[in-house]
Structure 1
Amino acid sequence: MPVDKIQFGTQIWTGESALDGLDEIKGKRIFLVTDPFMVESNNIEQITKHIDDNNEVKIFSQIKPDPPISEIVVGIEALKEFKADLLIAVGGGSAIDATKAMKFFVAHAVKDNSKLDLIVIPTTSGTGSEVTNFAVITNDEKGVKYPLVTDEILPQIAILDANLVESAPQKVTVDTGMDVLTHCLESYVSINANDFSDALAEKGFQMVFTYLERVSENGSDMEARRKMHNASCIAGMAFNLVNLGLNHGIAHAAGAQYHIAHGRLNTILMPHIISYNAEMETGVMKEPNRAAKKYANLARLIGIHVANPKIAVRSLINAIVQLRKRLKMPATLSECGVKQDFFEETKASISSAALKDGTTTTNPRQPSQAEVEKILEDSYI
């Protein structure tokens, strides 16, 4: 059997005073990457007020959702010109992924910057990027997303401060929260899953079902905010150990074409992916496969006690669909405004790209092109 190598390379700062740790940084040239809203709203001051005047700081805020390669190139040039010796990423997945990409490409272009440290401060509770060696960048011209996976982009420090997500709009809260649920589900049934990743995935899964609806209804519920912020990080630790699956493979490919929020797209696909992985098409009396048994374990964690694993899976799918409905999220691609003719035009290319995506390799079932297209069709209606 292969050896499972368990390593958590990122130090996590959490608690009410997590940002105070920045006060200790002295004499650095800090390249701070964020999105325009953080600067325009002055929210970035929540970070910069902790950075001592002894440091030189350059703020780069040319970041938009699904960061394109062209934008990252601009950031790389600014980073090289500034001669930074510390990177700080502040924002959601786009700002963090863009910063990771900058770190990677600068390290390979400028030998002196090969040990550029990275501190990540997430302002959404969803991607888990603060503790992963993943980043996703977009080729706008080709409409393709490329996962970048290497330990070279693993952050040295992650700072979790739930106050930074208190003002997140309800749509962002639920989109990112359901992305956390997807991370838990996919890492749990990954072909690489182990006892350690399972423990993290199970805990994150329970936390989402306990706290996401609460924070959706009341964004000022700081206990729920903190729990979801922690759940996002926990889920990130899980999938960083064992990778993800077909849900993300399709979401990466479809997101580049349809420009639907990543967590929302994952949520639309999720019931169909679970059904496919558990081979629900063979009927509930058929011997359950490994994925079905594991999904049944998760069902029990949220109070679904059914002896037949496949019936438990069906109940889990129903629980997710009902949660999605209570969160006022769309259930289909068509509800998100994807036109029928454009869907038909892109269905094959999305399916092909999903099969090539690095996250699909650890899915519990290896799908065919036709099977991916069927999942897309079921997600469209």
Structure 2
Amino acid sequence: MSIMRFSIPRDIIYGEDSLAELTNLKGKKAAIVTGGSSMKRLGFLDQCQKYLADAGIESIIIDGVEPNPSVATVWRGAEAMIQFEPDWIVAIGGGSALDAAKVMWCFYEHPQLKFEDIIEVGSMPPLRNKARFIAIPSTSGTASEITAFSVITDTENHIKYPIVAADMVPDIAILDPKLPEKMPAHITANTGMDVLTHATEAVVSIAATSFTDPYAIEAIRLVIENIETAFKEPENMQARYNMHNASALAGMAFTNASLGLVHSLAHKIGGEFGVTHGLANAILLPYVIEFNRQSTDKYAVVEKLLGIDDLAEAVRKLNKGMNIPACFKDCDEVDFSEDKFKQVLDRMSERAFGDPCTLTNPGKPTVEDVKALYTRSYYGK
């Protein structure tokens, strides 16, 4: 039996108004990393800076992290940190901001590295030489605030790289449901289905254990019972609280059990077409569940525990209720032309097969299996 590890942040602070816990930090300087304008527009950046100031901490803001954070953005942020020399890095916003901040942190502490030096699992050198890390999610989705994962896009080669390093697990995660309350409905849907995908893939992962299953199964329950309410009633704080907690619980499961083919396929189709990660996961999930049933009985275990007749159909029902298309061909978020899909299918399939998440998928999927799943999820067959 192999030796396993279960890693989560040292402190998870959750509940309404938990953002105010920043006033209890000890330090001198903090770099706040965020995405577009929503955190500023909604007043959360100002709150962050005020709470830090109350703690006697000087802060700067590194903003403009795009939805699929690029290597260039990571380096821009790292250079700002090198100049400012923070002892805290505070990432606030969606998963992209949190993911980018993690890798900025790495290059701040190790500026001699190249991006290529950290893309292999286990290749990142130790962190916390200069700073510690706080993650504050504004979406109930990626669980980057909990995990050892970051996804960074090589825009020149159209490849999303999942970066995995145990040291990237944040020191503190702050889960304040007031932040996702203002999310637009389609983002609530996409990020919420990302949570469901994380939990579902963690359950069937070949690295799943008795430590990870309870978190994953509880996250599945919370999503199924709350996501449509959060989608239709954005100010329902109980639904927001449950979804925010579900995201973190799913993160505890998958950062320790890893993921599977849904994420492998989503990473590469996202890199080729620019489709939002959570939306790609939502479309792919029922097709991969149906494929994986030949190799695992864990879906049946979940269905029995939660009183679900068919998990794949339950996912399709949730998607339909939140206006998520059943296949990529019907997705209008980006240009999913059939000609381009056919043109990149072989390359995309090879790259998805080689994605680290494929290693923990049940069974032994082949490149042809991946190609068939892409084809089914594109045409809806």
TM-score by length of 1: 0.91
The answer to whether the 8 Å contact 1:354/1:360 transfers is yes
> Where does residue 168 of structure 1 map in the other structure?
183
The answer to whether the 8 Å contact 2:219/2:247 transfers is yes
In the TM superposition, residue 364 of structure 1 has moved relative to its aligned partner by 0.4
In the TM superposition, residue 112 of structure 1 has moved relative to its aligned partner by 10
Identity of aligned residues (%): 38
Describe how 1:91-106 pairs up with structure 2 within 5 A.
Answer: 91-106=93-108
> Where does residue 64 of structure 2 map in the other structure?
62
Find runs of 4+ consecutive structure 1 residues off by over 3 angstroms. 40-43, 110-113
Q: Which residue of 95, 106, 109 corresponds with 1:107?
A: 109
Q: 2:162, 2:152 → 1: CA distance?
A: 7
Tell me whether 91-100 or 52-61 shows the greater mean CA deviation: 52-61
> Where does residue 302 of structure 1 map in the other structure?
306
Is 1:322 matched up with 2:337? no
SS in 2 for 1:142: coil
> Where does residue 119 of structure 2 map in the other structure?
none
> Where does residue 344 of structure 2 map in the other structure?
346
The answer to whether the 8 Å contact 2:204/2:361 transfers is yes
The answer to whether the 8 Å contact 1:190/1:244 transfers is yes
> Where does residue 45 of structure 1 map in the other structure?
46
SS in 1 for 2:59: strand
Deviations along 1:295-337, whole A, 9 cap, x unmatched? 0111123323xxxxxxx5xx22112111111111111111124
Q: 1:48, 1:301 → 2: CA distance?
A: 44
> Which amino acid is 2:108 matched to?
V
Q: 2:194, 2:225 → 1: CA distance?
A: 15
In the TM superposition, residue 8 of structure 1 has moved relative to its aligned partner by 2.8
Q: 2:27, 2:321 → 1: CA distance?
A: 49
Q: Which residue of 143, 159, 164 corresponds with 1:128?
A: 143
SS in 2 for 1:7: coil
> Where does residue 246 of structure 1 map in the other structure?
261
Q: 2:17, 2:182 → 1: CA distance?
A: 18
Q: 1:225, 1:365 → 2: CA distance?
A: 35
The answer to whether the 8 Å contact 1:91/1:123 transfers is yes
> Which amino acid is 1:380 matched to?
Y
The answer to whether the 8 Å contact 2:207/2:360 transfers is yes
SS in 2 for 1:297: helix
Is 1:185 matched up with 2:200? yes
Q: How many pairs were matched up?
A: 361
* Structural RMSD (CA): 1.6
Q: 1:27, 1:183 → 2: CA distance?
A: 34
> Which amino acid is 2:284 matched to?
L
SS in 2 for 1:351: helix
Q: Which residue of 237, 258, 266 corresponds with 2:273?
A: 258
Q: 1:229, 1:372 → 2: CA distance?
A: 31
In the TM superposition, residue 170 of structure 1 has moved relative to its aligned partner by 0.4
> Where does residue 12 of structure 1 map in the other structure?
12
The 1:28–1:370 alpha-carbon spacing in structure 2 relative to 1, beyond 3 Å, is same
> Which amino acid is 2:298 matched to?
K
> Where does residue 366 of structure 1 map in the other structure?
364
Deviations along 1:54-104, whole A, 9 cap, x unmatched? 221110102111101011111111110111111000011100000000111
Q: 2:373, 2:179 → 1: CA distance?
A: 36
Deviations along 1:338-370, whole A, 9 cap, x unmatched? 000000011111111111111111000222111
> Where does residue 238 of structure 2 map in the other structure?
223
> Where does residue 82 of structure 2 map in the other structure?
80
In the TM superposition, residue 39 of structure 1 has moved relative to its aligned partner by 2.5
SS in 1 for 2:195: helix
Q: Which residue of 209, 215, 236 corresponds with 2:224?
A: 209
In the TM superposition, residue 113 of structure 1 has moved relative to its aligned partner by 6.6
In the TM superposition, residue 9 of structure 1 has moved relative to its aligned partner by 3.8
Q: Any stretches of 5+ residues in structure 2 without a counterpart?
A: 113-125
The answer to whether the 8 Å contact 1:106/1:113 transfers is no
> Where does residue 285 of structure 1 map in the other structure?
none
> Where does residue 373 of structure 2 map in the other structure?
375
> Which amino acid is 2:347 matched to?
S
Q: 1:114, 1:356 → 2: CA distance?
A: 32
Deviations along 1:21-67, whole A, 9 cap, x unmatched? 11122442110000121234543223223222522111010211110
Deviations along 1:210-268, whole A, 9 cap, x unmatched? 00011111001100000000000000000011100011001001101111111110111
In the TM superposition, residue 116 of structure 1 has moved relative to its aligned partner by 1.3
> Where does residue 29 of structure 1 map in the other structure?
29
Q: 1:189, 1:25 → 2: CA distance?
A: 38
Q: 1:4, 1:209 → 2: CA distance?
A: 30
> Which amino acid is 1:47 matched to?
C
Q: Which residue of 180, 189, 200 corresponds with 2:215?
A: 200
SS in 1 for 2:136: strand
TM-score by length of 2: 0.91
Deviations along 1:175-224, whole A, 9 cap, x unmatched? 00000000011000000101111111110000000000111110011000
The answer to whether the 8 Å contact 1:206/1:301 transfers is no
